[in-house]
Amino acid sequence: MKFHRSVLFAGLLAFGATACGDDVQIVEPTPPPPPPLVVSLSPSNASINAGEVADFAVTVSGGVAGAAASWTCASSATGVATVAVTATGCRATGVANGNASITATVTKGGESTSAAAQVSVRALEAAEVSIFAVNQMGTTANINAIAGQLDVIVNVDRKDENPTGVELVVTDVLTGADIVVAGQTFGPAAVQEVDGPDGVVQQVTLSFNTALYSITGTTATVRHKNGQHGLRARLTGVGPGGTQTRASQVVTVRFTNADALHITQDFVTAAGTTLNDARALDATGLVWIGGPNFTSLDITLIPVIYTRVGTDGQPLTVSSINSGAICGQAATTDTTAPFTFVRTCANFEGVVAAPGFTGVGSDGNLITFAAGFANANRDPAQGLSPVIFPIRIDTRAPTGAVLVMAAQAGLLNRENWGNASYSLTSGYTAPADAGVGLPSGASPAATRSEAQFRVRTGTTVVAGHEFSDDARTLAGLANSVNNSTYNAQVQTCDRLANCGTTSMTVNPAFTGVNAVAAASHNAGTFGVDKDAPIMSRGNVGGTGITTAQRTINFAAGQTYEPQATDVLSGFAAGVTPGPAVPLTDAALAHNMIRVVATPGSATLNRTVLIGGAAAVAGPFATSNAGAFVTTTAAGAASPTNTLAYTQTPTSISTGPAGFAFDNATATAGYYIYQARARDKAGNLSDILSYQVYFSNGSVPALTGLVAPGTFTGGAMATFPGTAQDAVEVHEGSFDLRYPAAGSLLATRLIYPRPMPTVSTLFDDVITIPATVNFTAANFIRALQGVSAHTTFPLAPANGDHAPVAGLSVPDQVTGRVYNGFNASQAAAARQNHQGTIGLAPGAGPEATTGTSAHFSVPILGTQVQTGVDYTTAAAATRVSQWAIESYSTGAASGGLVTATIRVRVSGASGTFVNPFAGGIMIVERTPQGNIFADPVNVTLTPLFTAPFPTLDNGAQRDFVWTFTMARATGTTANLHAIGLTSGHDGLVTREATISFAASQAAGTAPVYN
């Protein structure tokens, strides 16, 4: 305004100066009045409960601009509602039923005005609480004699209040002290409606232990002494502002808890051990305490006294406590709190029940502690200390173990001897244990895990045989010279490892064998013999088998004489078998089994001829248990099938009588006679067998033969056939006929015997009839001869021993089979162990008894591959001479002379190469004129290696081989050499007769046919 006035004034001055130049008077206008002050309260009315608040907002408008407004609040009835000024208006608080005006007076810029609102107040009903019932164990408690747990059921009626919780208060009538013992905060699940769905009345159960106590150091403080007490419930969070409590009626009760003892038990163990070292479970799952690490049971008692003495309730104290017997140890008294009782429980085994603890009070009266142990129901998960009683204590080792030498089942050892298989558990009797018991697997289970053994010599423990499970057998002990070398001890332990040691004693009742052996187990020592008796066969009596005998008749003098020796434990005295004596209780036993086959079937019939009537399962050459029968000592009565023998402490002899095989009723088949010996340590010898192939002179037969397919030189050729015998076809051989081979007309080339091996003698299979396959590993597709001459060598031009044109191809195959009689053995050799017994050889191999007749079938020319003629071969391989050239012999030795024989093939000088890439065969011609490939014990040794330059003289080149063979002095051998091409075409030398006279010079020429 001043600014505008200045401008106007300046204008007027200008105007006046220019207009008239007179003075001018200025008059300012009157300002307008401020708007009126207006006040309002919002809301205009409100309804609240007593104790609740209602806020009324003050709104101000008008009045002097820029002036600040302030206000005051007033209630028309402060008994109904009080009021207070707030930053935004007035706050009314309900007090009681009724209506009140709430007035706000606003002042602004010196002006005041008021506004009013109405509030209606409704009074709240106060919540109520009462004790509904006092129970124990689900029934109404005797309020004049209460002990232990108490359950107080409280009724709560919230009405218009919302209490935060309820408490149970115990008031000691004598002292007036209040103790809150239980409480519950209200929540949806805290109360139970009992008066309809609107929840007018709700129930809360508040429980507490009237006998509650606490331990501080060595003192027990009980929360409630015995006597009268008042029970009342009270609500929290009620009244104005929810800050007050409201209580129920008081129910007067009397606590009568019996005085008790708080007990702690410490199971003291040796240094370095833990509490678990001293505990174990018995077979029923109960806990036992003890073992070698257990030191003592320490019991500490703290009196828990509820009794008040006198009308003024003076405290009762305990001056001494007496303990009854614990672990068998006498009662003692302790006069110093805390009262402690220590018991070692040495050599104790049993259940310790709670002893009778009594005390003397400060009033001089006896305290019986009728409540027992106040902490008896503590959580066992806290460890062993809250176990209280009964306590199962075992510090005693098992008793009653026995260790003796016994006859082990299946071993039949005796006289305090054992072998490597003997187990000390055989003579061990498990102990008894009345405490925690023996470990799982204890006797009578075979493991006997409670026992560990050791072996000593005198008092010195044998190395490696300390107390352990491994020492229970005798396998690790050295043989001893007598049965007083070793003694044994057994350590038996219960589940808590309480262990005791028992030494081997005399066996008081040796059972399982006869009375003779029973009396011999009479020492607490033993010997070890791990070596089985040695079985052997005595000489064969008689004159042997003659060619006239058609069956084997041992009654004529052939006997089998088992012998046995044992130099350590030796043999027990012979016992005559009888009803009271087991058949297996003898030093020497024997049996005989016959095996026959059913023709056309694979079924075998096994019959025990000696040792029992029942058939046994195979393999028949090893006797099953029970198939042996005992023998009888010389001079004793001999039951049927027994074998008389003569015995010393270290040997058994059955000679010269032995065992005679009687063929009078014999059936064709295998006969296996067996004998074995047992020494005192229970070692069984190997089974000594005498096995006989018996068929009463039967001759095998080859009943079928086939020559199938096409045959290639050097390849395998197979000719199937069928054979039959009374017992079993053993082997076979066959030959191929080459009808014209130069000078070797009608040559028969016999392949080695056995060919094939049809069966194995004395195995567990007898096949009747048998399928045979005659097989040549390398088929010779053709033979070719050489020219004749009586001397060698001659000039190549003469053609001596040179190939003769024309190949001889096999046109017939002939087979034969042999049974066990014909085994190419002399009569004496056939009587050896696993020998074959049959008829004697005849005039020759084909006539030998036990050999079948020949069976022949043709081979067609179209079945055989075409061969190569040596006379038309290339120059490099064309043979000019092929012969057994010379030989020499050494001195006679043992009736034999060994000949070194030289074989040579010749060809053109400079170009000739070895024509026999397929190898060389040495065969012997028999008197019948056949060539045999039966084994001739020769060794082929090339004298030079190709191209043999030292034997190439510019006119011819030679390849030379040498071999050796031995024959009886003075005999001869008719030999051929067959050289084979790579395609297996054979070139055959002239027959060369070698004389086995001693010391013939090198280069001696054979005689050619």
**Cis-peptide into 355, omega within 30 deg:** no
pLDDT at residue 824, rounded to an integer: 46
Reduced to 3 states, what is the DSSP secondary structure of residue 2?
helix
Residue 483, pLDDT above cutoff 80: yes
Task: Flag whether the pTM goes above 0.85.
Answer: no
- pLDDT in the model for residue 528: 98
In whole numbers, what is the pLDDT of the chain averaged over residues?
A: 79
- Lateral strand order in the sheet of 202-209: 139-140, 128-136, 149-157, 202-209, 192-193
Contact present, 762 and 691 (Cβ < 8 Å): yes
Q: Are 32 and 47 in contact (CB under 8 A)?
A: no
Tell me if 332 sits within 8 A of 378, measured CB to CB: no
Most confident residue range from 553-557, 829-833, 942-946: 942-946
Q: What pLDDT is attached to residue 513?
A: 45
From the number of C-beta atoms within 10 Å of its C-beta (0-12, 13-18, 19+), residue 620 rates as: buried
Identify the band that residue 627 occupies on the pLDDT scale cut at 50, 70 and 90.
low
How many Cα atoms occupy the beta-carbon half-sphere of 98 within 13 Å? 15
Decide if pLDDT at 763 tops 90. Answer: no
Per residue in 285-323, pLDDT (tens digit) is: 898 999 999 999 999 999 999 998 876 677 788 999 999
**Residue 250 predicted with pLDDT over 80:** yes
What average pLDDT score do residues 909-925 get? 85
| CB atoms inside a 10 Å sphere around CB 913 | 14
Exposed, middle or buried: residue 636 (CB in 10 Å: 0-12, 13-18, 19+)? middle
Q: 130 near 249, Cβ under 8 Å?
A: yes
Compare 312 and 209 and report the one with higher pLDDT. 209
For residue 42, the tally of other CB atoms under 10 A from its CB is 12
Note the pLDDT of residue 552: 31
775: buried, middle or exposed (CB in 10 Å: 19+, 13-18, 0-12)?
A: middle
Q: Where is 13: in which H helix or E strand?
A: helix 2-18
Range scoring the smallest mean pLDDT among 184-188, 354-358, 636-640, 716-720? 636-640
Is the backbone peptide bond immediately before 700 cis, with ω within 30 degrees of 0? Answer: no
- The rounded distance, in Å, linking the Cα atoms of 427 and 407 is 8
**CA-to-CA distance for 143 and 141, rounded, in angstroms?**
6
Closest to 65 (Cα-Cα) out of 109, 18, 30:
109
CB 562 within 8 A of CB 644: no
Is the pLDDT at 34 greater than 70? The verdict is yes
**Vertex 802, ends 796 and 803: CA angle to 5°?**
150
pLDDT recorded at residue 939: 42
Spatial contact of 715 and 779, defined as CB atoms under 8 Å apart: yes
What per-residue string of b and e applies to 266-288 under the rule 16 or more CB within 10 Å gives b?
A: bbebeeeeeeebbbbebeeeeeb
Identify the pLDDT of residue 944.
Answer: 46
Q: Where is pLDDT greater, at 874 or 532? A: 532
Question: In angstroms, how far is CA 654 from the centroid of its own chain?
Answer: 49
Cα Rg, the chain, nearest whole Å: 63
* Cβ neighbours of 848 (radius 10 Å): 18
What is the structure's pLDDT at 461?
97
At 543-560, the pLDDT tens digits run 333 322 222 333 334 566
The two structure tokens encoding residue 807: 């190949």
Distance of CA 554 to CAs 559, 595, 834, 966, Å? 6, 19, 16, 35
| Confidence band, pLDDT 50/70/90 cuts, at residue 192 | very low
E-assigned strand segments in 189-338: 192-193, 202-209, 213-216, 219-222, 227-238, 244-247, 251-255, 260-269, 279-281, 287-290, 294-304, 308-309, 314-315, 318-323, 332-334
Q: Which pLDDT belongs to residue 82?
A: 96
Of 441, 468, 437, the closest CA to residue 455 belongs to: 468
* pLDDT, mean of residues 779-793: 83
Residue position matching structure tokens 């066992």: 380
Is residue 869 within 8 Å of 899, Cβ to Cβ? no
228-to-253, 371, 1003 alpha-carbon distances in Å: 6, 20, 144
Please write the tens of the pLDDT for every residue from 72-106.
999 999 999 999 999 999 999 999 999 999 999 99
Close Cβ partners of 636 (under 8 Å, ≥ 6 residues apart): 574, 576, 644
CB 289 within 8 A of CB 245: no
624: pLDDT strictly greater than 60: no
The closest alpha carbon to 356, from 345, 346, 341, belongs to: 341
d(CA 221, CA 212): 9
Please, are residues 835 and 821 in contact by the beta-carbon 8 Å criterion?
Answer: no
Task: Write down the residue that tokens 């030679």 correspond to.
Answer: 958
85 vs 92: CA distance, rounded Å = 9
What's the CA gap between 584 and 623, in Å, rounded?
13
Q: Helix, strand, or coil here: 398? A: coil
First-to-last CA distance in the chain?
A: 176
Give the separation between CA 135 and CA 314, rounded to whole angstroms.
Answer: 30
Tens of pLDDT, residues 131-175: 999 999 999 999 999 999 999 999 999 888 889 999 999 999 888
Would you say residue 384 has pLDDT above 60? no
Give pLDDT tens digits for 676-716. Answer: 888 999 999 988 877 666 766 667 899 999 999 999 998 99
pLDDT for the residue 130: 96
Q: Are 592 and 609 in contact (CB under 8 A)?
A: yes
- Cβ(637)–Cβ(631) below 8 Å: no
Contacts of 62 (CB under 8 A, 6+ apart): 34, 35, 36, 37, 38
pLDDT tens figures, 332-374: 999 988 999 999 999 999 998 888 899 998 888 899 888 888 8
Q: Which amino acid is at 80?
A: V
Q: Which of 127-141, 155-169, 175-189, 467-481 has the lowest mean pLDDT?
A: 175-189
Q: What's the maximum distance between 2 C-alpha atoms anywhere in the chain?
A: 201
CB 367 within 8 A of CB 360: yes
CB-count burial class (<10 Å; 0-12, 13-18, 19+) for 734: buried
Contacts of residue 842, defined as CB under 8 A and 6 or more positions apart, other chains included, come to: 547, 848, 849
Counts of helices then strands in the chain (DSSP H, E): 2, 71
Q: What is the DSSP letter of 17?
A: H
Q: Is 162 exposed, middle or buried (0-12, 13-18, 19+ CB in 10 A)?
A: exposed
Give dist(CA 382, CA 497) in Å, integer. 25
| Nearest residue to 173 via CA among 231, 125, 126, 217 | 231
- Four-residue CA torsion sign, 508, 509, 513, 517: positive
Please compute the mean of the pLDDT values over residues 425-450 and round it to a whole number: 76
**Across residues 582-599, what is the average pLDDT?**
72
